[in-house]
């Protein structure tokens, strides 16, 4: 039962960036405890509960499968942030991302303003309809009261001849 709960919530293991080498490196034991605490984590398809953190450090990170995983993570990082050796590439990439985010924010703001404007239009139409409704109600009341005052027409011949 407990392991089922851990299986459901255990996050995917994420190596961290070594700022000196600009490469991915594995977390040490303390970092594992700090980051994954009692949750455990999954790596290369295996669940590592807190009891297996030392096994992870001692054996798993030396396995071919894990070494390949780190290589792939390095490639992903490289593609996203450019060359490891040049911090300027990282800054350049982040500027590009920032620019895209600004464009996205501006588009969303425009949509918001447009929707607010159409809300205002709808409010104005609603107000017009409300006053038209009031006018019509008043006219209907008038017609009803006039109808009450009408006297029934006698059945006799209304046209008289002298
Ligand atoms: Zn692994």
Instruction: List, as ranges, residues with CB under 5 A of the ion ligand 1.
Output: 43-44, 66, 69
Query: Model pTM?
Result: 0.49
Pairing of strands 16-18, 46-48: unpaired
- CA-only gyration radius of the chain, Å: 38
Ligand 1 centroid, distance to 91 Cα (angstroms) = 29
Comparing 1-5, 92-96, 129-133, 143-147, the range with the smallest average pLDDT is: 1-5
Ligand 1 centroid, distance to 1 Cα (angstroms) = 24
Reported as a pLDDT band with limits 50, 70 and 90, residue 12 is very high
Euclidean distance between CA atoms 100 and 61, whole angstroms: 37
Ligand 1 centroid, distance to 143 Cα (angstroms) = 85
Ligand 1 centroid, distance to 66 Cα (angstroms) = 4
């Amino acid at each position: 039962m407990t392991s089922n709960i851990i299986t459901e919530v255990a996050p995917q293991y994420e190596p961290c960036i070594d700022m000196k080498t600009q490469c991915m490196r594995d977390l040490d034991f303390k970092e594992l405890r700090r980051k994954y605490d009692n949750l455990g984590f999954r790596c290369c398809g295996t669940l590592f509960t807190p009891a297996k953190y030392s096994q992870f450090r001692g054996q798993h990170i030396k396995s071919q499968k894990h070494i390949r995983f780190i290589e792939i993570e390095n490639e992903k990082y490289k593609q996203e942030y450019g060359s490891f050796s040049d911090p300027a590439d990282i800054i350049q990439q982040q500027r590009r991302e920032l620019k895209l985010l600004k464009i996205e924010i501006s588009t969303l703001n425009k949509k918001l303003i447009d929707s607010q404007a159409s809300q205002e239009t709808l409010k104005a139409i609603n107000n017009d309809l409300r006053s038209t409704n009031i006018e019509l109600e008043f006219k209907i009341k008038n017609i009803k009261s006039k109808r009450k005052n009408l006297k029934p027409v006698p059945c006799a011949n209304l046209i008289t001849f002298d």
